[in-house]
Amino acid sequence: MIHNIEGLMLQVENRKQELIDLVTTLIKFETPAPPARNTKDIQQFIATYLENLHFKTDIWDVYPGDPNVVGVKKGKASELYSSLIINGHVDVAEIREDEEWLTNPFDPIVTEEAIIGRGAADMKGGIAGALFALKLLHEANIDMNGDLIFQSVIGEEVGEAGTLQCCERGYKVDFALVVDTSDLHIQGQGGVITGWITVKSPKTFHDATRRNMIHAGGGLLQASAIEKMMKIIEGLQDLERHWAVTKQYDGFPPGTNTINPAVIEGGRHPAFIADECKLWITVHYYPNETYKEVSREIEEHLLSVAKSDPWLKHYPPTFEWGGCSMIEEKGEIFPSLEVDPNHPAVRLLSTSHQIHHGKEVTIDVSPSVTDGGWFGDAGIAAAIYGPGDFKNAHAVNESCSINQLIAFTKTMIHFIYEWTNTKKDDRYRDFS
């Protein structure tokens, strides 16, 4: 069978125009998020593509106009052989009217070196390469003994949990591969959680009472919620500096674990003392931490800060964490993901990469976040591995290297075949 696999590698080269056409077809579907609610057509295209490869599809709306698509191809001996999820998102970064593109961002340009268009790098190139690998395996009548699942999800760009819904729907495997932007590195990631911190007075006061609140003899134990939020922000800055000193993780520059005070809302109008102030923060944390641990640490610190303040100790801040959509709820969670370099699927993927690149793969951590963390959160071993780089992702005139796309597709063919034909009790053999 290995000779058939080698033959498929030649087909990737010989049929590269088909692969390029698949990428450009996907780019032509206009799926920016925001505004989102625009992926129905591309998801139907992918569902049909999978059905033609004899996958059984499961399609449901995460939001109206934004369905998930999951294709399942059962293995010949599922209970004995390793199973795999391939995961990717079809939404792409937003477009602003003042951006200077060479052409319409959804009318892709193909040069000798690259495909240019919104989503080429993040991440329709990765989806196309994985789909084309599945097509070549299918056409060659190469069976897999383990289950193979392809997940085409929505919402990653705006923190909408298409992948979380897949996990909650019961799709479990031995390994999941997110084919998102990684420059063909095998990557884990830190995590991100957003949160709202609210300082609120139970009473309202006319602005004429300010003298009574702040000057000697005023006799009114009240305060501006906006001014008290300044103490909360100072507390966050102290904690952020403490984290930079006390927490490190290989692959991240010191101090990558940040607390960003991103948006502040407060007050009614000038005739009132501000009775409420809300702060929207973004927290980046390391792969060996969880969003529950980090949010709890922030709460405990800020409640200690509040206890030292004569007003906040009576009216301490309250907290709302995360959310399933930056559009619907103004909140998101991206769980962290640690990659075990000794996991058999990671070792096999490393071998597959080396065979088709002639050099060892880089195993590191993503400077960004992907849906990969949802698999780790669900107890599924996972990694990120895809074409495209962060110089191009979200960029004007976003592009993906054609040579990298071809190399990725070859790696995927080898990895999919080998992993789904590896016995569960034989996974720790030497893949080199």
**Residue 154 CB contacts under 8 Å (≥ 6 apart), including other chains:** 33, 36, 39, 43, 62, 63, 66, 67, 68, 89, 90, 91, 160, 162
By annotation, the residues acting in catalysis are 91, 156
293 has which bridge partners?
Answer: none
Q: Determine the Cα–Cα distance for residues 19 and 136; give it in Å rounded to an integer.
A: 11
Strand partners, 92: 32
What is d(CA 170, CA 305) in angstroms, rounded to the nearest whole number?
42
User: How is 89-148 classified by DSSP, letter by letter?
Assistant: E--B----TT---SS-TTS-EE-SSEEESTTIIIIIHHHHHHHHHHHHHHHTT---SS-E
Q: What is the maximum span of the chain, computed from C-alpha positions, in angstroms?
A: 90
**Measured distance CA(399)–CA(387) in Å, rounded:** 10
Identify the sign of the CA torsion 361, 366, 372, 375.
positive
Closest by CA to 62, choosing from 135, 144, 169, is 169
How many other CB atoms are there within 10 angstroms of residue 326's CB atom? 18
Can you tell me the distance from the alpha carbon of 35 to that of 205, in angstroms, rounded to the nearest whole number?
A: 40
In contact, 315 and 229? CB cutoff 8 Å = no
Query: Which DSSP category does 81 fall into?
Result: B
Tokens read off for 415: 């990895």
Phi-psi region of 318 (alpha: psi -120 to 50; beta: other; left: phi over 0): beta
Collapsing DSSP to helix, strand or coil, 10 comes out as helix
Q: Residue 6, Cβ neighbours under 10 Å: how many?
A: 12
Of 375, 215, 220, which is closest to residue 287 (Cα–Cα)? 375
- CA dist 252 to 236, 366, 371, Å? 21, 9, 19
Assigned token pair, 299? 């709460």
